[in-house]
Amino acid sequence: MKLQFKIALFLSVMLVLVVGGIGIMTFGYMERTIETQMGNNAMDLAVTVAAIPEIKHALADQNEDKTVQTLVEDFRKQTRFQYIIVMDMEGIQYSYPSENLLGQRYRNGGEERVLTSGEAYVSADRNELISAIRAFAPVYENGVQVGAVLVGLLTDTVYKEVGTQIRNLETTLVVWLLVGILGAAILSLNIKRTIFGLEPKEIALLLGQRDIILQSLNNGVLTIDSSGKILLFNKLARDILGLSSEDVGKPLKDYSDLYAHQMLRTLDTKETILNQEIRLSPGKTILCSHTPLRDHRGEFIGVVSNIQDLTQVKLMAEELTGYQKMTNALRAQNHEFMNKLHTISGLIQLEAYEEAVDYISVVSDQRERLSGIINDRIENTHVSAILLAKYNRATEAKIDMEIDPASYLNRLPDRISEDELCSVLGNLIENAIEELVKIEGGQIYVCITSGEETLDVVISDNGPGIREDIADKIFERGVTTKMGSRGFGLTIVKEIIDEAGGVIELDNELGAEWRITIPYEGGRALDYD
């Protein structure tokens, strides 16, 4: 049997049971109420008849003429009761609806209590012939019981009087039942449409297939609902983000990392965020996209996130970048040496031997000083390579670049990689070079210091500095001081430093001076051959 019919049948059976139960209880209550009311009315009439003086005197005098019969019957005919029987203490009937039974003993039973103990009570007389409610009341004359009055009312007569109300109630219950069954059919149809006409087995199969597909994806997938609670994630997302099955159902706002922040931004704005590179921890980088989820009616129901682990790619890129940096450094150094060799060759050809010797000494001193700083004080080949490459680049551009002899780097902060530090240094020095090529006597100063708790970097130049109109928004994406440039360099620098928990400040009074402070938080010791 299909799900739709199962639901409709189940609800219909439940409605029949409920409405039937209500009907049975209602009719039972009505029957008890009617019989109680009938009994009370009968008792009131019996007490009234028992108090009539003529009846009391007749029973006391045992006067069996038809005075009582005439009096009682005239009185009864004005009521809706079927019989009023007056009897003496022996049960002899002084009044009866049929005169031929006058003077005979009452034979239907039930009168014993009123005659023997003088008790007034109501009883039901139900037999094969009639069903009636009877009220018995004693008759007293001068304090002595002389007989009893029996008032009877047939229940069939009463039910005929209330038959219209009972039929209305029956009709109402039937209508309720039919409406309920119709509602059950409509509800089952709506449920069927809500689940797209699928049967439970088909839904189970689809869920199984969805899970298999979800787990087989090469990317991590994480989904939250419209309230921001985690709905599901696949194994790859669990491994990348360090989640467990206990995280399902938890609010994403409980997680304070940048990934959760970006996903919650999509939840708030309902706008797609594509290809955002996020560093979760040192050495772990992901590329993620967040897309709003909508149901078949177009209503917003949550956010799905696609996650790619870039850790291995970044490691390979850093390695290749390191080679590229060293290659660029060697190229620039080779170009510089060729220029110097040409100068020395010219001096020798002009037989200016002393000038050639002096020139060689100056060049040698510069190279030894630079080599001493880079090789002995900077214990990271990637950072050494970028500094050497930028030094040679500055020299080619006729810019004096000084690396402070007090510079010292023996470890990196926990939350920044060597490639990211190289990106920061390269961007800031390159910006300075591009500004200084426009002027004569350009100078660049670089100082890198590993303190006890922080890594401090100072990069300054004697150029014109950052224009006042863009100084406050220099880190915004797209803002640039250079023609034709896209304005991403300083934005990348700011993002790297922010993710590392550091601070970057600009002093724009005498050229541009950048001051960077990054906390170590138990920085990683460097171990390079």
166-184 confidence digits (pLDDT tens):
777 778 888 888 888 888 8
Q: Note the pTM of the prediction, 2 decimals.
A: 0.44
pLDDT in tens, 32-83: 787 788 888 889 989 999 999 988 888 888 877 788 888 888 888 888 888 8
What's the pLDDT score for residue 486?
A: 43
CA dist 448 and 462 (Å) reads: 19
What's the pLDDT score for residue 445?
A: 93
What's the pLDDT score for residue 523?
A: 45
Backbone angles phi, psi at 220, to 5 degrees: -80, 145
What's the pLDDT score for residue 260?
A: 83
| Contact status, residue 424 vs residue 493, Cβ threshold 8 Å | yes
What's the pLDDT score for residue 277?
A: 78
Closest of 380, 385, 286, 369 to residue 326, by C-alpha: 385
Residue 359 backbone zone (phi > 0: left; psi -120 to 50: alpha; other: beta): alpha
Question: Which two three-digit tokens encode residue 107?
Answer: 């034979």
| Contact status, residue 497 vs residue 504, Cβ threshold 8 Å | yes
CA dist 485 and 466 (Å) reads: 15
Element (H, E) at 289: strand 284-294
Two domains, one topology: 3-161 and 214-309:
yes
Q: What single letter denotes the amino acid at residue 354?
A: E
Domains of the chain by residue range:
3-161, 214-309, 313-525
* Domain at 214-309: CATH code: 3.30.450.20
- Per DSSP bridges, beta strands 411-412 and 503-507 are unpaired
CATH pick for 3-161 out of 3.40.50.720, 3.30.450.20, 1.10.645.10, 3.40.50.300: 3.30.450.20
Residues pairing with 467 in the sheet: none
CA dist 40 and 50 (Å) reads: 15
Cα dist from 352 to 106, 337, 358, 362, 364, whole Å: 165, 20, 10, 16, 18
Element (H, E) at 266: helix 258-269
CA dist 167 and 163 (Å) reads: 6
Sequence-distant (6+) residues with CB within 8 A of 292 are 266, 270, 271, 272, 300, 302, 303
Q: What residues of the chain score a pLDDT lower than 70?
A: 1, 3, 127-130, 157-163, 195-199, 202-203, 205-210, 213, 256, 282-283, 312-342, 353, 358-359, 362-368, 372, 471, 477-488, 522-529
Q: Write the DSSP string, 398-435.
A: T-EEEE-TT-BB-EE-TT--HHHHHHHHHHHHHHHHHH
Count how many residues are written for the chain.
Answer: 529
CB-based burial, 302-324: b 16+ in 10 Å, e otherwise = bbbbbbbbbbeebeeebeebbee
Sequence-distant (6+) residues with CB within 8 A of 376 are none
Element (H, E) at 117: helix 112-117
The CATH class for the domain spanning 313-525 reads alpha beta
